Amino acid sequence: MSISYDYYRIFYTAAQYGSFTRAAEILQSSQPNITRSIRYLEHELGCSLFLRSRQGVALTPEGEKLFAHVRIACDHLQAAENELSKDQKLESGNVFIGASETALHGLLLPVLGEYHQAYPYIQLHIANHTVGQAVSAVRSGLVDFAVTVSPNGVQKPLHEEILLHYEEILIAGSGFSHLKQKELTLEEVSQYPLVSVEQHTITYEFYKDYFAGRHLSYHPQIEVATMGQILPMVKYGLGIGFLPDFMFENSRQKHAFPCLSSVQKEDEVFKIRLVHGNPVRSISLIRDKNRPVGIAARRLIQMIRESACRFG
C-alpha cells in the first residue's frame, strides 16, 4: 500500500482542528475535497478515522492511533522545512573548513571575520591543518573545502582552484646586517645557517626542490613546527629564512598578526635581495566537486573568491 503524504497531511490538519471546514481553510482547499480525501484514506486503511457530528469531527480509536504516528512525521517534516528555510536565509547552518597556517593568515582570516559579522548564526568549524591533512580532510568528507598553499598534491576527483599568488622572501636579523645591501645567489644563501619548517612538510619539500633546481642541497640548521616561528628565530640571530611576504609585512603592523607582533622595528628584521628573484607560491581552494556543499559554505566560498580578487 502506498498512500500519498498529502492524504496524511489532510488527515492531520482535520484532526488538529476537529473540523473539515477549518482544514479546508488552512490548506486552501474546499470542504468537498477534504471529505473525499478522508474517505479515500479510510477506504485504503480499511477503517473509520472520524466520527461526524453537527459540532464537527472527532477521532475514532483507530484514528487516534494513526494520528499519534502521523503527528510525529508531520512535526519532523515541518521542522525540516523550517530548518531548510533558515538555511536558505543563512540564519542557521554549519561550515567545515580545513586550512593550512599560511593560507589561514594570508587570505582566510579576514574573510572569516566578514562572514561571521554578516551571518552570525552560521557555525564555523575551522581545522588548522598541514597541507596534506587539509587535502585528506576534503577527500574523506570531513570538511566542506580547504584553503591551502601550493604545492598540495591534489589529484582527481578533488579540484584545485588557484586563488592568488604570493612571494616568499628571504629575511635576516640584525646579526646579519652586513647582508642588507647585498644581492645573494642561492648558492651564497646556502652558506648561511637556515631556519625552516620541519621535514615532511609541503614547505620543506618545496624548498628542497627549489634548491635542487640549482643543484644545491637544502640543509636547514634549525627546523621549527610552524611558519610563525621562523621570524622570531631570525630576529634573535639564529639564522636566515624564507617567509611569505604578507607575514613579514603584517609583522610590522600592531596587532595585525599577533604571533609576530613583537617584530615591528625596521632594523630588527630586513629583506635580503636574491639575484634570481623570490620564490612564488599560491593559495588554492580545494573541493570535491562530487560532494555538494550547502548554501552557507557556497556563500563563504564566494566571499573568499571575491577577497582573493581584491588581493590580486
Q: Concatenate the DSSP letters of all residues of 94-150 into one string.
A: EEEEEEEHHHIIIIIHHHHHHHHHH-TTSEEEEEEE-HHHHHHHHHHTSSSEEEEES
Same domain, 175 and 247: yes
- Do 153 and 177 share a structural domain? no
pLDDT tens-digit series, residues 269-293: 999 999 999 999 999 999 998 988 8
157 with 292, same domain?
A: yes
Answer yes or no: do 35 and 131 share one domain: no
**One domain for residues 98 and 78:** no
- Could you report the per-residue pLDDT of 164-194, keeping only the tens digit for each? 999 999 999 999 999 998 999 999 999 999 9
Domains: count for the chain? 3
pLDDT digits (tens, 9 = 90+) for 17-49: 999 999 999 999 999 999 999 999 999 999 999
- Domain of residue 65 covers 5-88
240, 242, 244, 246: CA torsion to nearest 10 = 20
Domain boundary (73, 88, 103) is at 88
Greater confidence (154 vs 135) lies with 135
**Residue 129's CATH number:** 3.40.190.10
Instruction: Give the total residue count for the chain.
Output: 312
Grade residue 3 by pLDDT with cuts at 50, 70 and 90: confident
- 161 membership: H or E segment, kind and range: strand 158-173
CATH number at residue 74: 1.10.10.10
